[in-house]
Structure 1
């Protein structure tokens, strides 16, 4: 697609950026996103969330068409009301989760593990706490988690800290998957080399936006590559030092509706 110079691609993380950690979308933030879209810019939701967990957020934001980067970049969809399900898969990258799952279970035998079934929900070795995942859940034997290739593996280990997860990753020395430690007790495993940034670059090309007119806003470690990718990377004020260091600027925290400050210049 020919590159247009009059619009930007605006990549937005969801949890801790647009929504509070309790899942609340402030009116001010919703209006700020609507203003960016009204100005003709391409708003792309980019999240570690699964597709089924992102669709209600898009609806709440009034986004009826456009692109979404799901599962930390492993799944890219285009929202299209003309499609039977209201969306189509533009790209889905999968991997064999068996080696990672086997090694992780040796290190974290009491953890809960889940793999994503696109557009449906998750298969898991035991139920996760209510509200942490969306969609339909199927509890299966641990070995069934690798019965087919998947887009994503989730590891939930309440006794582990983010530091422990990072140390574990370094010790296991994987080179065929990508890790993102989102918050204490939680780690996502994605196909090797796949991040929000890799998916967003493909979307940028598809929609014909100049690289210099890209913006990304986020607050987590899984946003670092995305913030570096964007010509204007913006970190939320409550993000930790590593995330803020990857950004070009820092705005207010989620409690201060920092997303509004980040998006207002695009109206």
Structure 2
């Protein structure tokens, strides 16, 4: 975690999506994938100042391009956008979508270990050819973007993959935190979400490694990055960036990894932080 110097201004703004740019579903009538005007304006002021916007999410690639479209980035005549997907395992340019880097691993041992303790868990692996996922059973509506194709677990993880999602609607996030720590999940890195949602990825792969790859291509460093996020999958990125900022509703371990805390997603905390560096 670097200290920002006097006169520092971010040259890269790495933004999580769910819980950072987008408010969680809370029964309101507005569509979930709605970018608040204040956030939209803050993003475009950053662009006006010459900063690079990088979307960094646990979402699969096809679940992220629509957010870029809602933000109207890249702008006409600008270079294609850099997007870090699948918690850093997939990096692509857009538009059109062009995967430029992907990390894969053998997920079979880790998945088998988790299913031994949660035999009814749902398992999913992104399958870009179908713009969706291979799943052993359907996930709850709205949790995965794209088509879900029912497939045996052995076939889902029969080849190296970039990311595996394991979900147990009958368990809690705390159950998965304890299980992941107990198992060690050798050969993988893992992230537990807000619910009993476990992301498995190759060792050393995170949003931090993904944004680092982008910085390498841009000739910049971690010290140039402002990163904003709210989830456990943001911890590495917030600690790595020159300035890492946790959303106000983040759990304590995320806040502890950050340099600062902004307002909650319901109060447009991402815009509040960006406005500090790119005022109206």
* Band the TM-score falls in, shorter-chain normalisation: over 0.9
**1:48 aligned to 46, 58, 62, which one?**
58
State the match for 2:164 in structure 1: 153
1:8–1:213: 8 Å Cα contact kept in structure 2?
yes
Tell me the equivalent position of 1:171: 182
Q: C-alpha displacement at 1:7, in angstroms?
A: 6.1
Given that 1:116 and 1:123 are in contact with CA atoms closer than 8 Å, whether structure 2 keeps it comes out as yes
Unaligned stretches of 5+ residues in structure 1: 81-85
The answer for the alignment partner of 2:262 in structure 1 is 251
TM-score (norm 2): 0.88
Residue equivalent to 1:59: 69
Compute the RMSD of aligned alpha carbons: 1.5
Residues 1:214 and 2:214 are matched in the alignment? no
State how far apart, in whole Å, the 2-side matches of 1:220 and 1:260 are. Answer: 17
Deviation at 1:73, TM superposition (A): 0.3
Within the candidate set 248, 253, 260, 1:237 is matched to 248
Equivalent of 2:200, from 175, 186, 189?
189
Aligned counterpart for 1:89 among listed residues 92, 95, 99: 99
SS in 1 for 2:193: strand
Q: Which residue of 1 aligns with 2:21?
A: 18
Establish whether residue 39 from structure 1 lines up as the match of residue 42 from structure 2: no
Provide, for residues 1-21 of structure 1, a one-character-per-residue CA deviation record: whole Å limited to 9, x for no partner.
xxxx98611100000000011
Q: Determine if the alignment matches structure 1 residue 78 to structure 2 residue 81.
A: no
CA distance in 2, matches of 1:96, 1:212: 33
Which residue in 1 is equivalent to 2:148?
137
Query: In structure 1, what is the Cα distance between the partners aligned to 2:61 and 2:238?
Result: 21
Q: CA offsets per residue over residues 72-122 of structure 1, 9 Å max, x none?
A: 000000114xxxxx1211101111121112111111011111111136211
Take 1:239 and 1:178, find their aligned partners in 2: how far apart are those partners? 21
Tell me, what secondary structure is at the counterpart of 1:159? Answer: coil
Q: Which moved more, 1:167-176 or 1:35-44?
A: 167-176
Q: How many Å separate the matches in 2 of 1:6 and 1:20?
A: 27
Q: Could you tell me which residue of structure 1 aligns to residue 29 of structure 2?
A: none
Per mean C-alpha deviation after superposition, the further-off stretch among 140-149 and 36-45 is: 140-149
Give CA-to-partner distance per residue, 1:130-184, whole Å, 9 cap, x none: 1111122210122211222111110111222222111111221222001011111
- How many residues of Structure 1 are paired with residues of Structure 2 in the alignment? 258
Aligned match of 1:100 = 110
The structural deviation recorded for 1:240 is 1.3
1:104, 1:66 → 2: CA distance?
A: 36
| Consecutive unaligned residues in structure 2, runs of 5 or more | 1-7, 26-31, 75-79
> Structure 2: how far apart are the matches of 1:187 and 1:68?
22
